[in-house]
Amino acid sequence: MTFLNDGTDRKISAYNFWVRAGELVIGTAEEPYTAKANIHLLGTNEDEYFAFSNSIETGNKNLVITGDATMVGAQRSLRSRLRTPVFVGDTTMTVDAGLDWV
């Protein structure tokens, strides 16, 4: 499956999404994906579980890649410094200004 890079936001909604023997391409190094690409996993913790075999039960929301996947988007600013310590239970943190984090 390849997401067309035509500036249109794309969304896949599924209970289980498995790239088994094929490939998933959402942008490449030569042509990064410029729109929003969402893989939305459906279901609740009460839904039936998915099992690969009798001994491997994986849950009820699965994104499994056993084939090939390439996901390349716009270059982002990824580095920053924590400006204050962060502890277990904290709900906020302070980082350097000017980041493009969403």
User: How many structural domains is the chain composed of?
Assistant: 1
Is residue 92 a part of any domain in this protein? no
Is residue 98 a part of any domain in this protein? no
Is residue 79 a part of any domain in this protein? no
Is residue 80 a part of any domain in this protein? no
Q: How confident is the model at residue 77, as a pLDDT?
A: 64
Measuring CA to CA, which residue among 85, 86, 84, 82 is closest to residue 96?
Answer: 82
Over range 52-67, report the average pLDDT. Answer: 78
Which residue range forms the structural domain that includes residue 46?
10-71
> In whole angstroms, how far apart are CA 45 and each of 15, 28, 52, 64?
12, 34, 18, 18
Over range 2-16, report the average pLDDT. Answer: 89
pLDDT tens string 18-53 = 898 889 999 999 999 989 999 998 887 777 776 767
Is residue 4 a part of any domain in this protein? no
Is residue 89 a part of any domain in this protein? no
Is residue 3 a part of any domain in this protein? no
Q: How confident is the model at residue 101, as a pLDDT?
A: 64
- Residue-averaged pLDDT of the chain: 84
